Amino acid sequence: MTKDIRPPFIATVPGFPRIGAHRELKKAVEAYWRDPATAPDLNGTAAALVDRALTRATDTGLDSVPVGTFSFYDQMLDVAAMVGALPARVDDVPDRPGSADGLLPAWLDRYFAAARGAEGIPPLEMTKWFDTNYHHLVPELDPARPFAADPGFLLAQLRLARRAHVPARPTIIGPVTFLALSKGSGPGAPDPLERLPELIDCYLDVIDAIAFEGFDWIQFDEPVLNTAHLPSESDAGVAREWSRLVAHAHTRGVRVLAQTYFTDGQRAVDTLRGTGVDAIGLDYVAGEAPDLSGLPRSTLIVAGVVDGRNVWRTDCIRALAVLHGIA
């Protein structure tokens, strides 16, 4: 009998744009800021944009679709909300009424207050997302406020995908990237990376929730593993905590993709080599091909060969040559 060596999926992308072809999200969010009574319209716009991305993904033949990349404002802020790390100064902003079948989370108004500020509430700082022109919010992590998992917004997106019979892959900014791009807040605040074991515990709860819903892959975006944002002396601790993350996922029947981008990925490969991670996403457009020797043969390489940062067509001959070189 011939052993089936087909990979678990053939074609995918790491994420999707979220604003809409005609800036639908921007218009709906700004209408909600002016008048909260337009919440049903905002929910409808959000659901339509998620559905449009899912439909396009399946229509183009993707057999694993990232779900969770939609955001009402900023994906770093989404993670802050998911792990209970919105700043204390927005605590008095009341929750909005939740909806069992909608995308608007109860914490949405606190989230927007953290992003934009409000009367007596300064907003979070912003800074560039690596070498792009996108600016992300910088979460403020107070050691007096423990992390606590609240994956409801992610699960709402996943349920939309399941109803549409989409092969969904839950997608979240990874714990190391989240901490490395955050800052400490409050008296005696430690370097955020010192809280990695605590944050991993919170991520394990998120994995449990995803597994309970029946999803068997999860993607953690960890571009920081390749950059100077992460001190090199952190690599051993990162590998140790990532091993714990992966081992827990495996006990729940969930496989893990560590997605990197912006550079050749060599440092990420070296850091993740012994963690048991099931797949590593690497950017073969931005840098040279990394040395994959030492990775288990079972490790799936998710090769990024289509440049998503310009408008030009991909050189398919070059892309195929890169893929043949990996195979």
User: Does residue 3 fall inside a structural domain?
Assistant: no
Strand order in the sheet with 217-221: 65-67, 168-173, 217-221, 255-259, 279-283, 300-304
Secondary structure element (H or E) that encloses residue 116, with its range? helix 108-116
Is pLDDT larger for residue 58 or for residue 4?
58
User: Does residue 255 fall inside a structural domain?
Assistant: yes
The percent of the chain in helix, strand and coil, each rounded to the nearest 5, is: 40, 15, 45
Query: Residue 263 is part of a domain; what is its CATH number?
Result: 3.20.20.210
User: Does residue 12 fall inside a structural domain?
Assistant: no
User: Does residue 13 fall inside a structural domain?
Assistant: no
Q: Grade residue 310 by pLDDT with cuts at 50, 70 and 90.
A: confident
User: Does residue 7 fall inside a structural domain?
Assistant: no
User: Does residue 258 fall inside a structural domain?
Assistant: yes
Where in the sequence is the domain holding 217, given as residue range(s)? 24-326
* pLDDT over threshold 80, residue 106: yes
pLDDT digits (tens, 9 = 90+) for 130-180: 988 899 999 999 999 999 999 999 999 999 999 999 999 999 999 999 999
Rounded Cα–Cα distance for residues 173 and 118 (Å)? 26
User: Does residue 76 fall inside a structural domain?
Assistant: yes
* Count of domains observed in the chain: 1
* pLDDT over threshold 60, residue 3: no
Q: Which of 324, 286, 278 is nearest to 306 (CA)?
A: 286
User: Does residue 19 fall inside a structural domain?
Assistant: no
